[in-house]
Chain A
Amino acid sequence: MFQPLEPGSGPRVRVFLDDTPVDLPEGANLAAALLTAGFSPFRTTPVSGAPRLPFCMMGVCFDCLIEIDGIPNRQACLEQVRAGMRLRRQSGAANLEAAE
């Protein structure tokens, strides 16, 4: 588990992880905040359903893909925590109904 080296002092805001409310540090890198919160896996792969977590944290590997506010395939490592974000784990291959 990734643990904070120092107690967090900044404000935390509520986001929804698969409809479950979770408080994360406002403005923090989303992938880093979710990893630290123990969110695992971030997604399962479209090919074999294998679990994945962020690998590069810098926008090149696409393993941190997540659905944000109804939009799938966002790179969590390029996003920041905002109040009210609705986050969904992506399972396997894309589902056309879910994108409607």
Chain B
Amino acid sequence: MIDLAIIGAGPAGLAAAIEARALGLRVTLYDEQPGPGGQIYRDITRPRSDRSAAILGPDYLAGRPLAKAFLASGAGYQPRATVWRIAEDGLSFTAPEGGGDQAAARVLVATGAMERPFAVPGWTLPGVMTAGAAQIMLKTTGTAADGAVFVGTGPLLYLVACQYLDAGMTIAAILDTTTKGALLGAASHLPGALRRPGMLMKGLRMLRRLRRSGVPFHRGVTDVAFEGDQALSAVRWTSGGTAHRLECAHAFLHHGVIPNANMTMAARASHHWDKAQAAWVVDRDAEGRSSLPWLFVAGDGGGIAGAKAAALSGRIAARAIARDLDRGAPDSARLLRDYAAEVAIRPFLDRLYRPAPAFLAPQDDRTVICRCEEVTRGDLARAMQEGCPGPNQFKAFCRAGMGPCQGRMCGPTVVSIMSEISGRSPEDIGYYRIRMPVKPVTLAEVAGLPTERVDGRN
């Protein structure tokens, strides 16, 4: 029995593990990747050249001391682990060398964010991937694709485009889907954003860089669609009242990030619809307590707030857990103040980069919504005409959400489409009922057997 099992080795999980160890707790951290860092600091411990470090920049390299401190903290660490069950008694996981169960007094979910699904016609074609995926290619293997088109809105899209320019890559075009309404709406949140002027300036610098780079920068982009037979060959869009078409072999999509909430949903913790972030978010108090006494949440998995806020929330949660276990911990007032200052810019960013309604709920019936089962917008609309009352019933009507990704790639869009067609609110509609195993696992893995066989036979 350990005191604390942490899921996720991003900034929240790493900071929580370091803090919990400093408070004398027995801690083990589980993560899917081979090294610490999560997605923001992916592959952070790998030695890299000065050039690669310069391309990825200081915000990425800030993960190095965190990862180093974690590896020296004395916390248990199970990389390459898929946690498929969490409960009051601890968790169950699979790993190449054999998985099993771990009893724990508390579980901290720090599963971070995922990119908001961006369903447009042709987004399943080879050659289309997320901007985050393009950045992971940079971080993990130092590879990049020439002549790509960047499509969408939000800081990560602009950051990856800037990193591409720093890497000397050509960008065919940037198709910016930020709406005029969002610009106006965000203006009222400027005072909060000005509490973090550094972040605001960083964003403005990136946009200026891109506009002055000579890369075609189209604003107010709507009606994005990808063409291709076996792979992406062109992108079509509308901007400035004109229809455009551009041939390309790579396109990187991004319109914000949302909490990766499958784990907390499967645990049956209570969640709420966050209107500002247009996403389902787990209910948690200021110290990370969920509605379940054994379950804590830190970082972007409990609401998007960024890497620095994630690390702070991890420390705050670790202290709260130590106190709950009667182990004592320093007061968190200072950390809570720092956290509040860090997230002051969020209402501005959430409003500015909220996707246009037509991107949240695609209008074109041919758009694939569920990538796994290839269910289109038209299939969903038809199911609703036939009386499909909610997201869970789509599974029976047309198999949306029934594939291996367990609804991760379609759930948010399914809810938006249902809301748009029915006029019901997302709160009223709810979400898929997520169940354990939180990720698909084989019976052999459930039995704790190793997953790697070198000869390919039993």
* Option from A55, A63, A69 in Cβ contact (under 8 Å) with B453: A69
- Nearest chain A residue, comparing its CB with the CB of B404: A62
Question: Is B405's CB under 8 angstroms from A53's CB?
Answer: no
How many B residues, CB 8 Å from partner?
A: 57
B82 neighbours in A (Cβ, 8 Å): 78
A35/B137 contact (C-beta < 8 A), A47-B373, A60-B409 known = yes
Interface members, chain A 26-62 (any B CB < 8 Å): 28-29, 32-33, 35-36, 40-41, 45, 47-48, 50-62
Q: Is A84 an interface residue (CB 8 A)?
A: yes
- Nearest chain B residue, comparing its CB with the CB of A45: B374
In the docked arrangement, what's the CA distance between A29 and B405, Å? 20
A29/B129 contact (C-beta < 8 A), A48-B374, A60-B260, A62-B405 known = no
B133 neighbours in A (Cβ, 8 Å): 54-58
Q: Is A22 an interface residue (CB 8 A)?
A: no
Count CB-based A-B contacts (< 8 Å).
133
Tell me, rounded to whole Å, the shortest Cβ–Cβ distance linking B321 to chain A: 26
Question: Is A50's CB under 8 angstroms from B124's CB?
Answer: yes
Question: Is B453's CB under 8 angstroms from A70's CB?
Answer: yes
- Nearest chain B residue, comparing its CB with the CB of A83: B454
Q: Is B351 an interface residue (CB 8 A)?
A: no
For B114, B130, B133, B168, the residue with the greatest tally of chain A CB atoms inside 10 Å of its CB is: B133
Question: Is A61's CB under 8 angstroms from B371's CB?
Answer: yes
Category for how many chain A residues contact B: 35 or more
* Option from B32, B130, B457 in Cβ contact (under 8 Å) with A55: B130
A2/B231 contact (C-beta < 8 A), A41-B126, A55-B129, A69-B452 known = no
In the docked arrangement, what's the CA distance between A58 and B302, Å? 18
Interface mask (B279-303 → A, CB under 8 Å = 1, otherwise 0): 0000000000000000000000000
* Option from B42, B51, B231, B405 in Cβ contact (under 8 Å) with A6: B51
Q: Is B49 an interface residue (CB 8 A)?
A: yes
Q: Is B191 an interface residue (CB 8 A)?
A: no
B167 neighbours in A (Cβ, 8 Å): 5
Question: Is B32's CB under 8 angstroms from A2's CB?
Answer: no
- Nearest chain B residue, comparing its CB with the CB of A29: B140
In the docked arrangement, what's the CA distance between A65 and B440, Å? 12
- Nearest chain B residue, comparing its CB with the CB of A88: B456
Q: Is A14 an interface residue (CB 8 A)?
A: no
A69 neighbours in B (Cβ, 8 Å): 452-456
Q: Is A96 an interface residue (CB 8 A)?
A: no
- Nearest chain A residue, comparing its CB with the CB of B408: A60
B403 neighbours in A (Cβ, 8 Å): 62
* Option from A2, A52, A56 in Cβ contact (under 8 Å) with B145: A2
A86 neighbours in B (Cβ, 8 Å): 456
- Nearest chain B residue, comparing its CB with the CB of A78: B32
Q: Is A20 an interface residue (CB 8 A)?
A: no
Tell me, rounded to whole Å, the shortest Cβ–Cβ distance linking B260 to chain A: 7
In the docked arrangement, what's the CA distance between A60 and B257, Å? 13
B residues near A (Cβ < 8 Å) are 32-34, 39, 42-43, 49, 51-52, 55, 80, 82, 114-115, 124-130, 132-133, 136-138, 140-146, 167-168, 230-231, 249, 260, 371-374, 403-405, 408-409, 440, 442, 451-457
A residues near B (Cβ < 8 Å) are 1-6, 25, 28-29, 32-33, 35-36, 40-41, 45, 47-48, 50-63, 65, 69-71, 73, 77-78, 80, 84, 86
Could you jot down 9 A-B contacts, CB within 8 Å?
Answer: A3-B145, A54-B133, A57-B129, A57-B132, A60-B114, A60-B409, A61-B409, A69-B453, A78-B32
Known A25-B141, A35-B143, A62-B372; further 8 A-B contacts with Cβ < 8 A: A1-B249, A51-B230, A55-B133, A61-B405, A69-B452, A70-B453, A70-B457, A78-B33
